[in-house]
Amino acid sequence: MSRYRGPRVRLQRRLGIRLDDLTKKRIRSRKRQNSLPGQHGYPRRRVRLSEFRMRLEEKQKLRFNYSVSERQLFRYIKEARRIKGSTGLIVLQLLEMRLDTIVYRLNLARTILAARQLVSHGHIQVNQKVVTIASFQCQPGDKISISQKKASKELIKNNLKNRQRRYPPRHLVFAKAQMQGGIKKVVDRRSIRLPVNELLVVEYYSRR
| Domain region containing 84 | 8-94+194-204
Q: How far apart are CA 174 and CA 49, in angstroms?
A: 43
Among 15-24, 33-42, 44-53, 57-66, whose mean pLDDT is lowest?
Answer: 33-42
Q: How many domains does the chain have?
A: 2
| CA proximity to 151, closest of 180, 116, 122, 109 | 122
What pLDDT shows up at residue 40?
A: 47
* Confidence band, pLDDT 50/70/90 cuts, at residue 1: very low
What pLDDT shows up at residue 208?
A: 84
Whether 3 is in a domain gets the answer no
pLDDT over 70 at 179, yes or no: yes
* Residues 115 and 180 reside in one and the same domain: yes
Whether 181 is in a domain gets the answer yes
Whether 78 is in a domain gets the answer yes
* Residues 89 and 13 reside in one and the same domain: yes
* Residues 44 and 29 reside in one and the same domain: yes
Among 22-26, 59-63, 132-136, whose mean pLDDT is lowest?
Answer: 22-26
